[in-house]
A and B are shown apart, each in its own frame.
Chain A
């Protein structure tokens, strides 16, 4: 079929306004938040109803056109770069919250709903949707599910997959597949829901998603503990967990990040400190009081020089502002910011932190590290200028080495940002060839023409 005829067909499905063809429009869907080369799509289509979405998928498959679904394009792994051309399918118009069920504690949403808008609606009804990726003010729930996004509360509350109860999705033939349900327990058939979560748009296209809601904690307490060395901070983390306390949030910032944040905001952070732990315990008020005292005590025993417990909402906000400032402050240092996602078992954080220090030295790069110490998910952030080719080569070599170390420590390539194009080449190293072959066989049956987000997740 000619390109012109195809455009007409897409227009017939979604309407003229929702098919973008101009060069400027196409170019603005050639990238996402990953530091990777752009690639232009041939066409951008924006369905406004579930039915249109299904027809769009089918039309692509009938014509063997590659298609890449895109939410807000904030993923950090190149998951929405249309590297094989074809069409980009936008979910931004599929943004309705279909149901929030206060009796059975679930909600049904379309994939383009913005995460924080949803969380806000849920809060209004006295309930709680915990996954809170740093990008939540813009990311979509579809994107969250496809990347299995995590957030600051991952340690206690888990990540997106822990809240997906079921969904409907379109297979390549445009058939609507239903999986999971609205019941707390549901073991009917293969766990297709589990298969679809984190699939990065390579196995099917989410239509509606059913999400679990929980009651919010009644109380919370935040604190900031200051350590001379990263090792002391890490020992404190291990000791907190060993004491069978699971804080809602347990975040680490290294010295470089502390200094950069302080430079940025002048909030009075201890710039001499080797590391900071930002901790929040939540739950029943009595338990929160008790846990907070225990945590403070453990930090002090592990050589915390000071522990500041937030007395009120303003102080609590100040603690989290420091954490929220980490990325913006680092991002301002150099033009290019490479936010990595290496994750190791919690006990290996000290080893990973010292490996990162060595790597920064070896390649003479600036790396600031912050992240979710509580769940072993670190964000070493490399500050560079991509136009400096020589330095960029060193950055690439450093990234390779970061993953080598993470894997050697029993860790993983990605704690929450996904594989996409950025890390597909390392997959074999972590999963082994059999897992890749198995995945490929599955993919070749479910998507025989290879139209669903080709070039991502499983390649080679």
Chain B
């Protein structure tokens, strides 16, 4: 019986052993699926780097560990078998997750992770193929832990590119922490914690920064890290482990800010001595002495309620003033026009006013909701983000061309829209009013009007309900003047009486629309270059032609159809030709800044640092091509000869931060100033203790000069 049992066991062993050895690139265990992946998009060339990696797919809720596993666990290890001369580097560990487990915390990975390793191909490599072997060991845990291992092998051709896993490798690279240029950090032991200061992060993180210690045996992984952001410095208090076993002179850590899932690697030299390991704590000192050094107070934040109410007030005022901005004016004129038409029918006017208000408020809330959702997803966006996208700008240009052509009488909407829709629109003027509200918001959003900058900045740092409330009130403010005229007949009587002039006025209103189109094309040109701009202009001409073919009176049904087909074909051809141009790589930022007249240099964190290090004041113009207020200020105040002379006299370094296209660095800098849109004007003195002076959005020469007068010399 026993021998039979032994025989069975031996047979089993022999059945499975060969299987385990003939590995291949995939090993499946009870809890993970491991796969050896190769990434060599240019083939395996002598002297080049090639990427290998182990991809681990975990069963749900199972995890493996980072290089520092935290309170328990074990890092995954990879042992490569490569031909002579090939040298495999260290694992480029992607940023891990904190995996809390009761009072303990681990650092590791769930779901799918790739552990990439760079491999140096020897200069003399001339093989036709490469045989790669890997022995990997990992500890996979849920409530229980299982040490698992796998032997993988794969043979890849040397000359052909291997890029099937390119997407996973590049996604992993994007999820791997990087050193932050220009960032410096220091630390010192302070009681039972280590006080860390990080300078040179671009902006205040919106929420808690996670601290992942690379050093084993120093910190208490599960403890809360207190943090404070002030004067461009992030201060952290990282509690030390009561069972600290190491006293490194340089701490290594990965910092992960919300919205920056990959995080940054930082090296933190420890200033001053570590207390001896295992030394008894000093005799209990008076409470005051052991109290942690208090963190500097948060930037002057008035009681939350007051600041929120104040934000709402500013939002309302800002919304009302938005009506005067050149972006909104063309749409507003349309509204006034319809108001004149309805002046005799008060009920209709009131209903229209309500519908317009609803359209404006809902559009603002929807746009803000989208922005918040995208930011929550990690995108670095600010207010006006939609105009940073060339297709959106192109779409708006087409829409405004259509409205202009309609006003000019080239065609009637009724003739274009399918019968049912046209009829619906005529029967539902309220829908029309609501849509024109949406249109007004679409064009108004890039104009950050006075009072609105601060309110929007606050809004985007508040929790979603408050943020959306601020945007809703902003919409109410914008719709208020129109609603007021609709509600108060006395105001309505001030408007001119309807008559034949209205036809002429309607055509006249086509011109502000076309002017808006010119502006949008200019914005598009800044974003994508002159080719795309010309392409879009061609599309607009085709669009005008198509409108004309539809609107033109035709004798027979056949002619009408032929006309419409011709228009459609021309439009389709134009769009087909222009589309690739719109998607073309945007011109480099240098090009945009190179056009800046005068002494303006492109902004960067380094440029600011250099100027201040040299003891010079810095003036920063945060601007964008699609921001009309910015353009107005740029052409008037910031081009003022006397002011430029004053700048020169004080040796002010002038920097221009162009936000026409998406630029995360600028978005972060704006966030640090508590803003989320442009324009923003900032004057920094050479004295670091002097807070930055943020000037108003509607700039005056006098204001800038007063600010210049307040600059204190470097201390």
- A and B are partners in one complex rather than unrelated chains: no
Measuring CB to CB, which residues of chain A are less than 8 angstroms from any residue of chain B?
A: none
Binding site for A on B (CB under 8 A): none
